[in-house]
Structure 1
Amino acid sequence: MKIEYKKAKLSDIVMMRELILPEIENGIILDRSEDEIATNIRSYTLVLGDEQLLGFCALHVHTSELAEIRSLVVKDGFRGNKIGESIINEVLKEATSLGLKRVLSLTYKQAFFERLGFVEIPKESLPEHKIWADCIKCKHFPICNEVSLIKDL
């Protein structure tokens, strides 16, 4: 299977929402409206295989030095094939090209991110605007089992 990466377009939003819906329903990924995705469309990178959407994630810039990997999803049936790892590596290249110094992630998949060089940090060290902009919308807030991790670039 030929794998390719591309930046998301507004016309991709419907299929992105379809792919992520089960993870939203399970409380694994935070729900983002079509409008919110559209507003941040330039932060999303898609991974395609044989012209079908296999997964995506966003590189959301918080400051001139810090970004966050969020909304990482791989299509059921394609997990375990290093697609998630490949898309993370793709967005880490983008982060480096932007001149970012660090990339963080809030995740239930700690071991996955640690294999990619991320290290756990206290949630208290997260930017305050992250908590009030995103976390407060989560059905698990304020009792959160996600782990915060960071990677220096």
Structure 2
Amino acid sequence: MIEYTKAKLSDIIAMQEVVRPEVEKGIILFRSSDEMATNIRSYILAKEGEAIVGFGALHFHADDLAEIRSLVVKEGFRGQGIGKGIIHALLKEGESLGVKTAFTLTYQRAFFESLGFCEIPKEKLPPHKIWADCIKCKHFPVCDEIALIKTI
């Protein structure tokens, strides 16, 4: 059974192991231990027993806008609804904190559309998003990710 829970500082090394294959493929940005620790309150884990099988983060950009980022489900656990469970947990938490809109940059358009997200031009994203995160990506400035947004 999958349990969704908040991440703890002691989870960072295991989280980095889960995401490593996607970082190596250039699908997800590398996050240092320091960066993950600074943002640890943003992460929701999907755990099977004590093993982390996926996670995602809700990063706040304004008083009512948040970004879903760093979403990953471990190979072998995909296709079981775990990613959707993580997104639901993140959106529920965001809503409780006053988030009205959530966006994401992703290669997984159909997945996010199945959750009610709609594509928007990347130019509609907060400008600081590009300079804070995107500039670190090996694909920058030729980005082929899709921006999607959802009102919650």
For the aligned pair, the TM-score class normalised by the smaller chain equals over 0.9
What's the offset of the Cα at 1:49? 1.2
- What residue number does 2:76 align with? 77
5 Å-filtered alignment, 1:17-96, equals: 17-96=16-95
What's the offset of the Cα at 1:123? 0.2
- What residue number does 1:136 align with? 135
What's the offset of the Cα at 1:98? 0.6
What's the offset of the Cα at 1:50? 2.2
- What residue number does 1:123 align with? 122
Amino acid at match of 1:34: S
State TM-score, norm by structure 2.
0.98
Q: Distance in 1 between matches of 2:73 and 2:53?
A: 6
Q: Distance in 2 between matches of 1:14 and 1:52?
A: 12
What's the offset of the Cα at 1:13? 0.3
Q: What is the RMSD computed on CA atoms of the aligned residues? A: 0.6
Q: Distance in 2 between matches of 1:93 and 1:49?
A: 21
Partner of 1:48, secondary structure, is strand
- What residue number does 1:111 align with? 110
Q: Distance in 2 between matches of 1:92 and 1:81?
A: 19
What's the offset of the Cα at 1:51? 2.2
Report Cα offsets for 1:111-153 as digits up to 9, x if no partner: 0000000000000000010000000000000000000000001
Structure 1: state its 5+ residue gaps: none
Moved over 4 A (4+): none
Q: Distance in 2 between matches of 1:78 and 1:152?
A: 28
- How many residues end up aligned between the 2 structures? 152
